Amino acid sequence: MEKQTNNNTSNPKRTGSRRSSIVRRPHQSSQTKPNNTQNRTPNTNQNRTTHTNNSNNTNTQNRPTHTNNNQNRSNQAVRPPHKTGTGPSTQKRTPNKPSARRGPAKRRPMRPMKKKVIHKKSLRNQNNKYPTLEKNVIRIIPLGGVEQIGVNMTAIEMNGQIIVIDAGIGFSNEDTPGIDYMIPNTTYLEENKDKIRALVITHGHLDHIGAIPYLYNQIGKPPIYTREFGALLIKSKCSEFPGVDPKIVVVTADDGDISISEDFKIKFFGLTHSIPDSTGIIIKTPYGGIVTTGDVRVDNIDGVPLEKEFEQYKLFKNENVLLMTMDSTGIPYPGWSASESEVIETIDGIIKNVPGRAIIASFASQVERLVGFIESAKKYGKYVVIEGRSMNTNLGIAKELKLTDFSHVISADEMNDHPPHKIVMVVTGSQGEEFAALMRISNKTHRTVILEPTDTIVLSSSVVPGNDYAVDKLKDNLYRSEAKIVTYMDNVVHASGHGKRAELTWIHEQIDYKFFMPIHGNYYRLKMHAELAETLGAKPENIVVPDNGSIIEIRDEGKTIIKLDKKVPGDPRIVDGFSVSEEQHLVIRDRKILAEDGIFVIVVMLDRKTKKLKKSPDLISRGFVVLKDNKDMLTNARTLIKKTVEEAAENMNPIDFDYIKDVTANKLTKFLMQASGKRPEVIPVILSS
């Protein structure tokens, strides 16, 4: 029995650097390698360079044609040959400067083709030995979502049976430029897939279901237990991926305990979030229930929970709860969040009274609210235009489930058949996403919508941390029009789907649990949530703050909880284009260097016989400095390169090109750092004849 040891957060993860090999799963066709990720993955076995004598010769074929040694073409697209070395990969980087470029992930527009995913198997964890799980001990392993927002997944194991809760994605952030998603690390589950009896889903948001297509086959295709709305979203998501055919068991509100295996039963319970069919789950074990709320808020009016909230939690009066795990997203914010019904009411008033079009931007995930907008429009005899792919997907399912009347929903092309005051547009893009409808409307590139002074734009959303800059840009654009803008700062037009601290406190008070483990949040959120639990009476030794991959065990027939020192692999895997890998941080590291300091390519032509350069080195830079303004530096760089290469080659026979490139890259990096204060990625290319 021990208090959580929170100080072991330094993951061994960032230090490994082995090259991943591609393992094609049976369902993947072998012709799929659509991007050049592999080419860009540094061969880190050699640490610095990948050139061999042979590759130098090959490179001659596609070598760039440089006609001018004094080239100043810092913007021309002269590509370095393929398979060039990646420069010194083990150099210590200067500390990251705060990046000026912030904003939401720039999601690429929808890919037209089916997504054939290639899994790059990690070599890193193959010799990992986990402690054996003793009989009648319950093991809980958060595999994602406890060191970040998103990537949610938790595994519960006992006596050779495993239940997995949720399988979500996380989005790119400043640490992961350019990637598509992060998904949970399922190495442990893959190694134990025979034991997996079920994947249970709390609700249909992408941070809970989005990873299913990427990992479902890998973990042995277990049955997925979900409520109906989630089921349809999972099917829709998986339909984009060939070979992923989930076995779905739809759980209804009336289903009581569902028997999963010898030691596990599950029970779903309704709770309030922002998408239909949001549920909490109780996994019933011989020693009591393990509860996860999933994402949760408490609908309230001025801090008084609505009657339905009491209804939803009253089952816990008779429930023996061993371990409570709970959403921590909203913990930093004190008090109660605004009532969702108040939000819908406010926007109902706007829809009723606007002189022209109402253009409402919200999160596609706020399905219940979007349905509210559609109902308001109906009430006032207006037509609804839905713009945005995710919005259409989610509302398409709401339509399929007949959650409301969609007969007055029209296409954007039909919009001009009606006067502006009869139109309500519901659009994506409230976070300033580059390709979303609202951004296109704001920067006048939308196909059909030109803003008019009579238009009213409602941003029914908050600013997601990290998106501030993009949202400011969006607002700048919008305010340049004559349209009226309403944001959450002007009126109650948004409430979060994640309960603030008072709501979470209220839920704690409804459930009498023994152990507590905060989930869904980054470290400080989890820690704050643990502190809240303690102030509410939980004993410190009964609270565990996990990391991704932590092994938590409930021992002694449910009497003690412990976090083991040993972890299972918990580093989220990265989905980048079509490849899935946990080694992708090497690519990301390069992207960061390129983004911050640029790239500097040196091309030299070495005469094998004389060991002298045949001509002055060619220099190519991108994103580093303007070459023509730095002529002296370049002249000195050329002199240094020539001297370094010739000296290194002087007594070599045969010439060790890798060594020469190492030395040259090192010297140049130091020189450029001193001369410019920048540390670009230096890539030496040596051609020989």
Within 8 A by CB and 6+ apart from 401, the residues are 228, 229, 232, 276
Nearer to Zn ion, 292 or 581 (CB): 292
Nearer to Zn ion, 205 or 563 (CB): 205
- The stretch among 200-208, 465-473, 480-488, 653-661 that binds Zn ion (CB under 5 A) is 200-208
Cα gap 492→486, rounded to integer Å: 10
- The stretch among 102-110, 199-207, 394-402, 677-685 that binds Zn ion (CB under 5 A) is 199-207
Say how many C-beta atoms besides its own lie within 10 A of residue 684's C-beta.
30
- Cβ 356 to Zn ion, closest distance in Å? 33
The answer to whether 365 touches 332, Cβ cutoff 8 Å, is no
Say how many C-beta atoms besides its own lie within 10 A of residue 448's C-beta.
14
Nearer to Zn ion, 328 or 581 (CB): 328
**How is residue 111 written in tokens?**
């890919």
- Cβ 294 to Zn ion, closest distance in Å? 7
- The stretch among 82-90, 197-205, 338-346, 441-449 that binds Zn ion (CB under 5 A) is 197-205
The answer to whether 310 touches 272, Cβ cutoff 8 Å, is no
**Residue 288 carries which side chain, given as an amino acid letter?**
G
- The stretch among 207-215, 282-290, 348-356, 478-486 that binds Zn ion (CB under 5 A) is 207-215
- Cβ 416 to Zn ion, closest distance in Å? 36
- Cβ 145 to Zn ion, closest distance in Å? 8
The answer to whether 195 touches 159, Cβ cutoff 8 Å, is no
Nearer to Zn ion, 205 or 500 (CB): 205
The answer to whether 601 touches 80, Cβ cutoff 8 Å, is yes
The count of residues interacting with Zn ion (CB under 5 A) is 3
In this structure, the chain runs to a length of 689
* Beta bridge pairs of residue 299: none
x/- map, 264-303, Zn ion, by CB under 5 A = -------------------------------x--------
**Residue 539 carries which side chain, given as an amino acid letter?**
K
**Residue 497 carries which side chain, given as an amino acid letter?**
G
- The stretch among 59-67, 198-206, 223-231, 264-272 that binds Zn ion (CB under 5 A) is 198-206
Nearer to Zn ion, 207 or 597 (CB): 207
- Cβ 230 to Zn ion, closest distance in Å? 10
- Cβ 289 to Zn ion, closest distance in Å? 21
Nearer to Zn ion, 227 or 484 (CB): 227
Pairing of strands 423-427, 456-460: unpaired
Cα gap 564→551, rounded to integer Å: 6
Burial of 499 (0-12, 13-18, 19+ CB in 10 A): buried
- Cβ 104 to Zn ion, closest distance in Å? 17
**How is residue 379 written in tokens?**
């009430």
Nearer to Zn ion, 121 or 203 (CB): 203
Can residue 205 be called a binding residue for Zn ion (CB under 5 A)?
yes
Active site residues: 327, 498
DSSP string of 34-80, one letter each residue: -S-HHHHS--TTSTT----HHHHHHHHHT------TT---TTS-PPP
Say how many C-beta atoms besides its own lie within 10 A of residue 261's C-beta.
17
Phi, psi of 557 (to 5 degrees): 55, 45
Q: Which residues bind Zn ion (CB under 5 A)?
A: 205, 207, 295
